[in-house]
Chains A and B, each alone.
Chain A
Amino acid sequence: MKKKAFAVTLDPATSLSNHTGSWRTLRPVNVFKLPPCNNQCPAGENIQQWLYYAGEGDYEHAWRVLTEENPLPACMGRVCYHTCEGKCNRGFLDESVGINSVERFLGDYALEHNLGFKMPSRETGKKVLIIGSGPAGLSAAYQLRRFGHKVHIVEMGQEPGGMMRYGIPVYRLPRNILDAEIKRITDMGVEIECGRKVENIEAEKKSGNYDAVILCLGASISTNVDIPQGDTTSILNALNVLGEIETRGDIQIARRVAVYGGGNTAVDVARSLRRIGAEPIIVYRRNRDKMPANEEEMDAAIEEGIQVKWLSTIAEARKDSLKIEKMVLDENGKPKPTGEYEELPADAVVLAIGQNVDTSVISKISGLNMEKDSVVIDNETMMTSVDGIFAAGDCASTDRTVTRAIGMGKHAARSVNAYLNGRAYKKAEKHEIAKFEDMHPWYYTDAPKQIREELEAARRCGTFDEVQKGLTEENAVFEARRCLSCGNCMECDNCYGVCPDSAIIKLGAGKGYEFNYDYCKGCGVCAQECPCGHIKMVPEQI
């Protein structure tokens, strides 16, 4: 090129000297919101994160993120009641993401590939005693070990696992899975001493010169009610029944069994009895809506031919029948007796109306505050009224689920760690929750939820084989990719693409984006077109 015409001809890209950012009255900023699933998870799992990696096929990375919060994914993938899915924003679109099934996939993947936990980088020399090897105890032990503390668990049962072993039937949680995940924890150097009941916790603490103690002894005693009975009728309690079936694989019991209660335990018992050839019938005071038992579990039970007597209490147990009083619900949904009675043929009754904490030992601890039958703890620090003694799990909670126990165990461990370092533990601040309204659902492709295969009802009744199968890799990845990534960037490049001023800089895979405020005019298209609601327009300070 020789001489260019003046003014009429311009050099390329000279507009870059015109910084249009000065036009801006609103500026786009990235906001990081808390996905509703994460917020809901009692174990505080970073679900969105591990779904992100699972979706990319990096299963180990996903598993590592998952086990930051929960050391028992294979178990949780089976027994967790996954209330997270109830909160999933995808529910507004088609169906919630099958978080639980992907968690199980990752758990099983880790077992197949013998993924182990990393040993702590350093030993602190501190010692912690944990009473009970249920989910709370194992979770706490695991977390403490990661901090490098020495952990000793004392378990009164013959084998570790607590309710996961003695409360949850095999068809829901095969024991090889449980054992494998417990072994992974012991491989970290956690000691579990089984078959011993600690009678004097303070003495044990002193003698073993433990720096701290965590009470994780669960709620191991079935609640009793007093039913008028002829001495011939057999009345058993749920935990004994389940425990016996667990240890002996069978139990001597009559054919027609009434299971009294409406909780998950009642359902577990009924379904277990069905499998050893009995004909269980659930008797419950309220109706189905009011039933605390997990819905899916209940559906499964009914599929398996288990009958339910709604709005009924057992007034009296005779030799081969029960006297049932009909109930009605008042305006608050509380059951009221009607005075109407009927006969229900039954040879036995199993009480499944709740569990209690065994207070025989802890009540001896001087200055330990109790409320009803559970230990009072500081919600922030999980410490009991006694310095150095913490508590987690069913013994310190009214919301008695495995997942909750794992969450509590985690927090207790973190708090203990802080305590051992002479600090007070504070739970992390929660971000603003990602709401569906803040998102841009149009962009998400339709994708039906992947259903887990199940053993057909007919075959279930004869066996304790696991009812629910896992997802194939294909389905698991697909399911993971159904995550909407609520409130956080999923690198869809929308903002980068839709900016009319090319004022967004792409930093490369995994690195996200940056706003180029030199040129950003603040139009807000990026914010409006972000599927995740990850961008917010905030007023410029003028």
Chain B
Amino acid sequence: MLKQIEGSLGVAEAVALCRPGVVCAYPISPQTHIVENVGKFVKTGTLKDCDFLNVESEFSAMSVAIGSSAGGARTYTATASQGLLFMVEGIYSASGLGLPIVMTVASRAIGGPINIWNDHSDSLSQRDSGWLQLFCESNQDAVDTHIMAFKIAETVGLPVMVCMDGFVLTHAFERLDIPSQEVVDKFLKEYEPNEYLNTSEPISMGAMVGPEAFTEVRILQQRKMARALKVIEDVTKEYRELTGSKSGGLLDCYNCENADLKLIILGSSVGTAKDEIDRLKKEGINVGIISLKSFRPFPYAKLAEAIGDTKQVICLERAFSFGGRGIICPEVKRAMEGKNCDIKTVVAGLGGRAIYGTTINGIVKNALDGKFTEEFTFFDVDASVLNSYTQKTEGVSFPNGPICQSQIDNSVNM
């Protein structure tokens, strides 16, 4: 059913349609509207047989989720940024125990300095947590992905993070197509755990495993991730057939036929980029966009296929690794191992700095003009802000425009 509503409400409705047994929440912007609404559904009785817990911290939120999921209830929670980091110990525990929890991460920068606006440093910091990480490019995508996420998690036996850009999506008021309860019930059966705590068949969950079996335990976790690649595609296919939606999948290609350049983008900037790509097309510039939906598991083969024989790829990254480089780019290079393809990172949109069509336009032009001479470049830099400090303190000044790694390195050597 079509509705003109806020993204957060859309997600809350999607979650409610999945009939979770337990939802726990600790407030942090920009995730608040989602859990506020789920809480409301529980209170009004729209969402039946569901326990909504207001806990005292994200650490507890994740822990409650672990308990309820281990207890055999379909479990949901949401967080962002610092909250996600406060959960981390539990996040690893949840994946280690194979608990199919679904959690929204309303992606937001990590402090300090404290910053409430959107980028991907929180979600990507959990790259190695053993969770599936699915990114959404629009609120419609978010609504559908949440519904699929429960099925994927429960099929694979691993928890899933649904990452949607904070504010940009969560607070955007848009037209959304919310599937009916009947459709969702048909798609998502009542949760039947592989194993859960119950008094008729006692088990001990969470044993201590020493060197004699730890490696094997890890291999089995990696195997679940391998299975997840297939499951994500199957579930997406089933969901699309059922609802006619275009959401989900491992990745999504736009204008990729014989494009001279391909941009790999995660999240809400994909939409902005698509519009800009269309404008560029009119200028005769042919650029493709690969919207990376599944960051974990990372679809190496699918991605290589999507890139095809394109010679130039830019990863638009909204987080990076201090002292290192990009986070997405190395993965793409792995995917393209041995193929003759130029892959680079362009960092933009950190801590809420808006990514405009013009930003995309600039990146494309610079790329095609071969202006990105290095693997790692900060694109949307305001040199004046930077210089206002470095000139005073060290007499160092940066030129306007993108700043690449060597410029940073050299500025130190002076």
How many pairs of residues, A versus B, come closer than 8 Å at their CB atoms? 48
B-contact 0/1 string along A439-455, CB 8 Å cutoff? 00000000000000000
Q: Which chain B residues lie closer than 8 Å to A9 at the CB level?
A: 195, 203-207
Residue from B201, B202, B205 within 8 A of A8 (CB atoms): B205
Residues 1-50 (chain A) with a chain B CB within 8 angstroms: 1-12
Which residue on chain A has the smallest CB distance to residue B201? A1
CB distance from A242 to the nearest CB of B (A): 79
Expressed in whole angstroms, the Cα–Cα distance for A4 and B194 within the complex equals 7
A interface: dominant SS: loop
Which residue on chain A has the smallest CB distance to residue B203? A9
Residue from A1, A2, A7 within 8 A of B207 (CB atoms): A7
Which residue on chain B has the smallest CB distance to residue A15? B204
Contact yes or no, B98 A5, CB < 8 A: yes
Q: Which chain A residues lie closer than 8 Å to B201 at the CB level?
A: 1
Expressed in whole angstroms, the Cα–Cα distance for A7 and B216 within the complex equals 9
Q: Is B96 an interface residue (CB 8 A)?
A: yes
Contact yes or no, A11 B203, CB < 8 A: yes
Residue from A1, A7, A11 within 8 A of B213 (CB atoms): A7
Q: Is B176 an interface residue (CB 8 A)?
A: no
Contact yes or no, A7 B195, CB < 8 A: no
Expressed in whole angstroms, the Cα–Cα distance for A342 and B97 within the complex equals 104
Contact yes or no, A8 B97, CB < 8 A: yes
B-contact 0/1 string along A259-274, CB 8 Å cutoff? 0000000000000000
Q: Is B385 an interface residue (CB 8 A)?
A: no
Which residue on chain B has the smallest CB distance to residue A3? B194
Chain B residues bordering chain A, tally (CB within 8 A) = 18
Q: Which chain B residues lie closer than 8 Å to A11 at the CB level?
A: 203-204
Residue from B98, B194, B206, B220 within 8 A of A2 (CB atoms): B194
B interface: dominant SS: loop
CB distance from B292 to the nearest CB of A (A): 30
Q: Which chain A residues lie closer than 8 Å to B207 at the CB level?
A: 7-10
CB distance from B404 to the nearest CB of A (A): 45
Contact yes or no, B195 A1, CB < 8 A: yes
Contact yes or no, B194 A12, CB < 8 A: no
Interface band, chain A: 10 to 19
CB distance from A38 to the nearest CB of B (A): 50
Q: Which chain B residues lie closer than 8 Å to A7 at the CB level?
A: 207, 209, 213, 216-217
Residue from B97, B205, B220 within 8 A of A6 (CB atoms): B220
Contact yes or no, A10 B194, CB < 8 A: no
Expressed in whole angstroms, the Cα–Cα distance for A2 and B194 within the complex equals 5
Q: Which chain A residues lie closer than 8 Å to B205 at the CB level?
A: 5, 8-9
Known interface pairs A3-B195, A7-B216; A12-B203 also in contact (CB < 8 Å): yes
Contact yes or no, B203 A4, CB < 8 A: yes
A-contact 0/1 string along B190-217, CB 8 Å cutoff? 0000110000011111110100010011
Expressed in whole angstroms, the Cα–Cα distance for A2 and B352 within the complex equals 46
Residues 169-205 (chain B) with a chain A CB within 8 angstroms: 194-195, 201-205
Residues 210-228 (chain B) with a chain A CB within 8 angstroms: 213, 216-217, 220
Known interface pairs A11-B203, A12-B203; A6-B216 also in contact (CB < 8 Å): yes
Contact yes or no, B204 A5, CB < 8 A: no
Residues 368-383 (chain B) with a chain A CB within 8 angstroms: none
CB distance from A10 to the nearest CB of B (A): 4
Expressed in whole angstroms, the Cα–Cα distance for A244 and B205 within the complex equals 91
A-contact 0/1 string along B290-304, CB 8 Å cutoff? 000000000000000
Q: Which chain B residues lie closer than 8 Å to A2 at the CB level?
A: 194-195
Among A1, A5, A7, A11, chain B packs the most CB atoms within 10 A around the CB of A5
Which residue on chain B has the smallest CB distance to residue A11? B203
CB distance from A221 to the nearest CB of B (A): 83
Q: Which chain B residues lie closer than 8 Å to A8 at the CB level?
A: 96-98, 205-207, 209, 217
* Contacts A/B (CB < 8 Å), 12 sampled: A2-B195, A3-B195, A4-B194, A4-B203, A6-B213, A7-B209, A7-B216, A8-B205, A8-B209, A9-B207, A11-B204, A12-B202
The chain B residues found within 8 Å of chain A, CB to CB, are: 96-98, 157, 194-195, 201-207, 209, 213, 216-217, 220
